[in-house]
Structure 1
């Protein structure tokens, strides 16, 4: 089912010199071929800190999203939305960064409430 705006998949690769972020864009879940593929090589402002993954990844993800021709309807990343009760992960921080920018929009769904996570003990 086409969403009207693209779906983008993002991932990063780190080297000593910086990070390369890849964005692969699709118009629909059933697309066999991407409509756009792009990479950006960026300096990494923050070193790796356990539990603070977002400090390193978030600026790169935002740069990749900003480079797109149009705002995505859906963003797929390799990261947690929440890492614990009241502990936002990369997904929650990306969501917050995007809703604070007027040019970018990430729609909420009935399936995921990013602002009020629910945790279940197993």
Structure 2
């Protein structure tokens, strides 16, 4: 039997150098993770290019996500979500340095 856990448990108390990635569930073709950002962004020139799709929601905080095929970054706040297609190059332009940003990411196979 699984013990209930909060998505808001174990958050860093102050800004950290690295984002925190916590795998919450993994099954064939599916991976769910919590990402905690405290002001991080993707390095200059870096783009994610993932073979699987990624549905991502911001639960707390604010961020700007850049998709390569869009002229402007997408602003995300609490409750906002986006589905990123496989191999859609994307990057994190900004996360709020003044508050913790909590993401819920669902990675899924394209098949």
Please state which band the TM-score falls in when normalised by the shorter chain.
Answer: under 0.3
Larger Rg: 1
Structure 1 or 2: larger helix share? 1
Higher strand proportion: 2
Higher RCO by CA contacts (8 Å cutoff, separation 6 or greater): 2
**TM-score, normalised via structure 2 length:** 0.27
